[in-house]
């Protein structure tokens, strides 16, 4: 059985979806407000390139941030999304390949090296965090493409992975109760208990949807910021 947290397999699924889109479908809206499917794929391409560049810097002993700045990151996404779909596809495949090579090249003793998201940013991560970060980016944004791959396609293990990691973004206070797994996640003190299937909870804690399939013992779902 395939590992549901296998980054390589998640990447292959994404590439297959991107390759299966017509040029017209690239321009169609995604599930993310204001972004076309081309924007989502451009973001995933540039995310891979940024991570690969930062990891290459670690190997070479240089401090390389993931992005030059938040503004540059946003501008680059808009610029690439405006290119022909073939260019977006090529950058996505190239970025994914470069990231896989960069991950393989980092020595184990540098797994704790800290990388900045942008120069001077308080948002940092370590080399060891990169595979799980990239997996979340791929799986969540693959669902955002609205091409038939959605949260119902996620394995329960990936939903658990998202719910485990949500604490870092402090979405509470509330308790998430996965009725299909018999597990709970407490985010902050107090607040309602929100119940439902793990994949529905995971989708909701990323700030997506309106809480479809979920119930709250207070009668109202907490408001979740976009991830």
* 3-state DSSP of 41-78: HHHHHHHHHHHHHHHHHHHHCCCCCCCCCHHHHHHHHH
Host domain of residue 211: 156-216
Instruction: Let me know whether 132 and 181 are in one domain.
Output: no
Question: Is residue 222 assigned to a domain?
Answer: no
∠ Cα 110 112 118 (to 5°): 100
Q: Which of 19, 11, 4, 3 is nearest to 100 (CA)?
A: 11
Instruction: Let me know whether 74 and 119 are in one domain.
Output: yes
CATH code for position 102? 1.20.120.450
Question: Is residue 27 assigned to a domain?
Answer: yes
Question: Is residue 226 assigned to a domain?
Answer: no
Instruction: Let me know whether 36 and 71 are in one domain.
Output: yes
Question: Is residue 141 assigned to a domain?
Answer: yes
Give phi and psi for 197, each to the nearest 5: -65, 150
Q: Does the predicted TM-score (pTM) go above 0.85?
A: yes
Total tally of structural domains belonging to the chain: 2
Burial (Cβ within 10 Å: 0-12, 13-18, ≥19) of residue 198 = buried
**Separation of alpha carbons 98 and 82, rounded Å:** 23
End-to-end CA distance of the chain: 30
Instruction: Let me know whether 99 and 162 are in one domain.
Output: no
Among 119, 149, 179, the domain boundary falls at 149
- DSSP-assigned beta bridge partners for residue 195: 177, 215
Q: How confident is the model at residue 168 (pLDDT cuts 50, 70, 90)?
A: confident
Instruction: Let me know whether 22 and 128 are in one domain.
Output: yes
Instruction: Let me know whether 182 and 139 are in one domain.
Output: no
**Separation of alpha carbons 102 and 134, rounded Å:** 13
Among 99, 122, 149, the domain boundary falls at 149
Instruction: Let me know whether 39 and 145 are in one domain.
Output: yes
**Separation of alpha carbons 129 and 127, rounded Å:** 5
Give the position of tokens 């081309």: 38
Q: What is the pLDDT of residue 50?
A: 98
Q: Which of 3-7, 91-95, 163-167 has the lowest mean pLDDT?
A: 3-7
Q: What is the pLDDT of residue 1?
A: 42
What's the pLDDT tens digit per position in 45-61?
999 999 999 999 999 99
Residue 2 pLDDT greater than 70, yes or no: no
Across 118-214, the runs of DSSP E, i.e. the strands, are 124-126, 174-178, 183-187, 193-196
Instruction: Let me know whether 143 and 170 are in one domain.
Output: no
The number of residues making up the chain comes to: 227
Residue 176 in contact with residue 23, Cβ under 8 Å?
Answer: no
Residue 36 in contact with residue 147, Cβ under 8 Å?
Answer: no
CB half-sphere exposure, 144, CA atoms < 13 A:
25
Q: How confident is the model at residue 167 (pLDDT cuts 50, 70, 90)?
A: confident
Residue 208 pLDDT greater than 50, yes or no: yes
């Amino acid at each position: 059985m395939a590992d549901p947290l296998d980054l390589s397999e998640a990447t292959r699924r994404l590439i297959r979806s991107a390759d299966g889109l017509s040029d017209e479908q690239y321009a169609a809206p995604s599930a993310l407000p204001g972004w076309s499917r081309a924007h989502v794929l451009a973001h995933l391409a540039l995310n891979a390139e940024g991570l690969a560049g930062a990891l290459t810097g670690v190997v070479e002993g240089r401090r390389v941030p993931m992005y030059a700045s938040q503004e540059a990151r946003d501008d680059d996404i808009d610029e690439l999304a405006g290119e022909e779909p073939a260019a977006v596809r090529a950058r996505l495949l190239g970025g994914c390949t470069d990231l896989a090579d960069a991950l393989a090249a980092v020595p184990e003793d540098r797994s704790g090296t800290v990388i900045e998201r942008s120069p001077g940013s308080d948002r940092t991560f370590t080399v060891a965090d990169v595979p799980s970060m990239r997996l979340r980016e791929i799986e969540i944004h693959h669902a955002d493409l609205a091409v038939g791959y959605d949260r119902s396609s996620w394995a329960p293990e990936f939903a658990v992975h998202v719910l485990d990691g949500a604490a870092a973004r402090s979405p509470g206070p509330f308790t998430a109760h996965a009725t299909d797994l018999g597990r709970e996640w407490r985010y902050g003190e107090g607040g309602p208990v929100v119940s439902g299937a793990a994949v529905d909870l995971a989708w909701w804690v990323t700030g997506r949807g309106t809480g479809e399939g979920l119930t709250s013992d207070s009668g109202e779902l907490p408001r979740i910021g976009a991830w």
